[in-house]
Structure formats: C-alpha cells, structure tokens
C-alpha cells in the first residue's frame, strides 16, 4: 500500500496498464511533455516515448476521431480532454460514432477506448472550466459513464474501464484531485463497473451521490447523526450502467431518498434517479424524493460555493424528508 491522492492513483493506473498492454496509447492536449494541466500523465513520456504518449493539436473532435480510428484497428487509446467543458467539439464523434459501433455492426465489434476528463467545480474555474456534463452521456446508449470519489476507487475503476469492451467516459472530479487521499495498492486490481458502494450505513435516510459530492454528503450525514438521524450514503461510482439494485435496496430500507449532485437540477441525473425510485419503490417511500443540486444557471465564478451543494444545503434536504 502507498498513500496516494486521486492524481497519483490515476497516474499509477495508466502506467500499469501501459506496461501490461503494449497496444495502449495516451493522447491529448499537453499530456506528454507537460504531463497534462493537472499532471495526471506526468512521467509517462519518459517511460513510454512519444509514439505511445502523444501531444495532440488543440482539436477535441480530431483527438476523439483519431482515437476511434485507432481503437477500431486494435489500439487501446486513453484520451484526455483537458476539461470536461471542452468535450463538446467532440460530442458528435462520441454520440454519433463512438457509441454506435456495437449497435451498427449487429454486435460484431465495438470501439473500446477511455475518454478521461476533469469535471465539476470547486477550483475557481468559472463557467468554462467547471461544468458537470455527465447527463449528456448517460443519455447515450452504447457508452459507459464512471465517476469515482476517492483514490482507491479511481484506480480500480479506471483499470476496469480501460479493459472494457465498450467505450467509457471517465469523469474525474477535479475539486478533489489533490484533496482526496488514501491507501492504494501499488499492484494491479480492478473494481467492477456497475457496482455502487455504501460509504456510510444508516436506516432513516438514503443519500444517493457520486464524485466530489460524496465528501459533502458524508459530512452532512455526520451532522445529521449528531441530531439523531441515521443517514446511509450510497456512492454510485458508475452512472451507466447504474446499480439500480443497490439504490432500491437502500431506499426500501430507509423509506426516504435525497439525491445530491453538482450539475444543474433540470434534467440532471437526479431526475432519472427520482423517476426510477418512484417507478420501482413507491410503496416504500415515507416522503417525496428530494434533490440537492447545482442551480439552473451557468456556473458562477464569484458565487461558486453558493452554487455547489454544501453540507448545510444537504442537511436541509435531510430535514425535509425526515419531517415531511
């Protein structure tokens, strides 16, 4: 074991996979000599050389289009999009090409690659460097969507993603890149995609969350505990495919659900979770499903921490469902 932050765990995972599989390449803007804007790919150029660690032009559509072609020829690309806000120029390539290969070929072949990208706010990035676009891709059949919340999960989920037979969008909550630390095995291990994790057990309220909001939710749960309210915190980890059984198991036990994410509320992933709970667990509910989210505005610079769900805002959601 070694103590790593999220950046170190991801760097270790990429390095292990490139050693294991010679067909793996890493590509993106400033990822080679610089090591990426957040330094996740630091040192890879020195070990693997410029044919496998590739600095690309500033063209997200070109980067993703090239990676699709490589993947179809048997290469395993790991693509970095510098900020998730910059993924939109490559959106057509992802949604209309990458996600469709298994379907259009009648299951004969897929297009396995990982697009990893820093997501969310919390670093004073303003409205062009703080967005949370996960729902756009959760809405797209053919993709898998992952967002870890700690270094151990980041490494295990990433290694599963890069070895998966289908394309994966791997969102990295940049707010906790360096803040989240923990013991991480230096050897190879994987965490299956599609399995949620109970971060804190409780029997009165379920908090459903993912990414950086797991940290805020755990703090809110601790504050609720001081008021005598036992909160269960479920970290979804993989958003598509969703571990619906874990969600329903927790909600049926507690009878109350609060969903926490930092993306805007309207058509955010919380809306889908709410609908699933209403369809499949309605008789168990003691209160309406409640969402604590970002607001339906562009991400603000000066009011960043008012926009992001805080333990105080989450606690209000807990109090609402408890006293409904």
Residue in 91, 82, 93 with CA at minimum distance from that of residue 29: 82
Distance (Å, rounded) from C-alpha 255 to C-alpha 281? 9
Q: Which strands, in side-by-side order, build the sheet including 114-119?
A: 53-55, 24-28, 76-80, 114-119, 168-173, 144-146, 238-240
DSSP string, 207-232: EEE-TTHHHHHHHHHHHHHHTT--EE
DSSP class per residue in 153-211:
HHHHHHHHHHTSSS-EEEEEEGGGTTT-EEEE-SS-----TT--EEEE--SSEEEEE-T
d(CA 232, CA 16): 34
Buried/exposed code over 209-247 (b: 16+ C-beta within 10 A; e: otherwise): bbbbbbbbbbbbbebbeeeebebbbbbbbbbbebbeebb
Distance CA 153, CA 148 (A): 6
**129 included as an active-site residue:** yes
Residue 259 and residue 317: Cα distance in Å, rounded?
9
Q: How many CA atoms lie within 13 A of 138 on its CB side?
A: 21
Active-site option among 129, 139, 305, 323: 129
Strand, helix or coil for residue 282: helix
The catalytic site residues sit at 129
């Amino acid at each position: 074991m070694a103590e790593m932050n999220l950046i170190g765990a991801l760097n270790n995972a990429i390095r292990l996979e490139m050693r294991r599989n010679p067909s793996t390449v890493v590509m993106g803007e400033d990822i080679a000599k610089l090591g990426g804007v957040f330094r996740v790919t630091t040192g890879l150029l020195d070990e693997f050389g410029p044919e496998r660690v590739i600095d690309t032009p500033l063209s997200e559509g070109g980067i993703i289009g090239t990676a699709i072609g490589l993947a179809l020829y048997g290469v395993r690309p790991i693509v970095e999009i510098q900020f998730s806000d910059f993924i939109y120029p490559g959106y057509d390539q992802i949604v209309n090409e990458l996600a469709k290969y298994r379907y259009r070929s009648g299951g004969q072949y897929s297009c396995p690659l990982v697009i990893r990208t820093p997501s969310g706010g919390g670093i004073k990035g303003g409205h062009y460097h703080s967005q949370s676009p996960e729902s756009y891709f959760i809405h797209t059949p053919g993709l898998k969507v992952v967002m870890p919340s700690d270094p151990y999960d980041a490494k295990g989920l990433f290694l599963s993603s890069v070895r998966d037979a289908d394309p994966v969008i791997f969102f990295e909550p940049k707010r906790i890149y360096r803040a989240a630390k923990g013991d991480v095995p230096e050897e190879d291990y994987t965490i299956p995609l599609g399995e949620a994790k109970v971060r804190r057990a409780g029997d009165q309220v379920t908090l459903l969350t993912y990414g950086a909001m797991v940290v805020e939710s755990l703090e809110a749960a601790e504050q609720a505990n001081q008021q005598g309210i036992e909160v269960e915190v479920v970290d979804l980890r993989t958003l598509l495919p969703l571990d619906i059984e874990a969600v329903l198991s927790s909600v049926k036990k507690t009878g109350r659900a609060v969903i926490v994410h930092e993306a805007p509320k309207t058509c955010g992933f919380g809306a889908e979770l709410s609908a699933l709970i209403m369809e499949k667990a309605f008789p168990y509910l003691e209160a309406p499903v409640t969402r604590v989210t970002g607001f339906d505005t562009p991400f603000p610079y000066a009011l960043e921490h008012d926009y992001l769900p805080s333990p105080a805002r989450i606690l209000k959601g807990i109090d609402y469902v408890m006293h409904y």
